[in-house]
């Protein structure tokens, strides 16, 4: 599981910083999360393959989180994309995207599907045989969701020495890996735990941007391996959170601690601050295993 930060700063792009976008690689899938201005340029800079992105998750309809979408959709068309593209986001994402394609006469040659979200309750929005994606309802100035990406458990690992010891035929291997006990020809039943090893524990990643401090999300993200949580302000500017509906680094750390997260990654920094290390220092007083996002940074999880 790898996370590449394409952009992690709030509000506006600058010469050296980009608005929110990141790529999560999980179980050989590549998910794009948010798509601020400059996303496709950042994809190229980070040498990420456009063609592997089949699912895009937009948290909310503020420009610094989706203004790069129409450019990316159009570039996919220019590159003669053939694969279907699925876009998940708030109701309105379809209208705003299709209007731009219509007025620019730039319809895609590939299938473009929109999955518009309105529920204020957590719901599964994507699932295949390897990964489940669930919404995390957030509180912001407009309808907003975070996303929880969770691996499905792998098959159990075959203990070759054990199956050979009991002279079990290879045609039963998949059944054993799926968790079944095996009955031998002499009537003995061999418990699955004797024939297999536990697979690696499934990993999970939660993306939470933008939001005020909101303890209601804790049960949804409980025991998450990695939590990305917005930290627009430091505590010295906490008075701005109520008006802008953002959070501080200390508040993000409090959520991580309550959720028993394995790691906290801070992002969505206000550009008023010249030194983002201050965010880590503040959060670490509450939750020690804290790291900072930054444009181009890759977390190997």
Q: Which two tokens stand for residue 131?
A: 């990964």
Residue 269 · residue 231 · CB < 8 Å: yes
* Nearest in space to 294 (alpha carbons), one of 267, 256, 264, 262: 267
If you count them, how many residues does the chain have? 301
Q: Which residues of 87-107 are buried (b: 16+ CB within 10 A; e: fewer)?
A: bbbbeebbeebeeebeeeeee
The alpha-helical segments, DSSP class H, found in the chain are: 39-45, 63-66, 69-78, 93-103, 160-165, 173-177, 192-195, 218-221, 241-244, 249-258, 277-284
Residue 64: active-site member: yes
* Nearest in space to 260 (alpha carbons), one of 222, 228, 289, 287: 222
Q: Catalytic pick from 34, 64, 210, 295?
A: 64
d(CA 287, CA 285): 6
Residue 259 · residue 224 · CB < 8 Å: yes
**Distances 78 to 32, 71, 83, 202 between C-alpha atoms, Å:** 19, 10, 13, 37
| Partners of 227 in the β-ladder | 206, 264
The SS3 assignment for 67 reads: coil
Residue 263 · residue 221 · CB < 8 Å: no
91: DSSP letter = T
Active site amino acids: 64
């Amino acid at each position: 599981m790898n996370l590449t930060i394409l952009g992690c700063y709030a509000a506006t792009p600058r010469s050296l910083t980009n608005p929110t976008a990141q790529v999560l690689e999980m179980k050989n899938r590549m998910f794009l999360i948010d798509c601020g201005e400059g996303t496709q340029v950042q994809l190229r800079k980070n040498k990420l393959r456009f063609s592997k992105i089949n699912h895009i998750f937009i948290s909310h309809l503020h420009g610094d989180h989706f203004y790069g979408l129409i450019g990316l959709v159009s570039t996919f068309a220019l590159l003669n994309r053939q694969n279907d593209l699925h876009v998940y986001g708030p109701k309105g994402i379809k209208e705003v995207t299709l209007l731009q394609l219509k007025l620019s006469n730039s319809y895609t040659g590939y299938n473009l599907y929109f999955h518009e979200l309105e529920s204020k309750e957590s719901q599964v929005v994507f699932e295949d045989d390897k990964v489940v994606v669930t919404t995390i309802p957030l509180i912001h100035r407009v309808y907003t969701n975070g996303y929880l990406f969770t691996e499905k458990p792998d098959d159990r690992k075959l203990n070759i020495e054990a199956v050979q010891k009991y002279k079990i035929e290879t045609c039963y291997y998949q059944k054993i890996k799926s968790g079944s006990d095996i009955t031998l020809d002499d009537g003995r039943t061999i418990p699955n735990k004797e024939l297999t090893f536990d697979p690696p524990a499934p990993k999970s990643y939660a993306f939470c941007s933008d939001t005020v401090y909101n303890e209601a999300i804790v049960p949804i993200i409980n025991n998450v391996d990695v939590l990305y949580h917005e930290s627009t302000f430091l505590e010295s500017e906490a008075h701005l959170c109520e008006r802008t509906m953002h959070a501080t680094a200390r508040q993000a750390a409090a959520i991580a601690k309550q959720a028993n997260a394995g790691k906290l990654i801070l992002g969505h920094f206000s550009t008023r601050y010249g030194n983002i290390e201050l965010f880590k220092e503040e959060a670490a007083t509450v939750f020690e295993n804290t790291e900072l996002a930054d444009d181009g940074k890759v977390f190997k999880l």
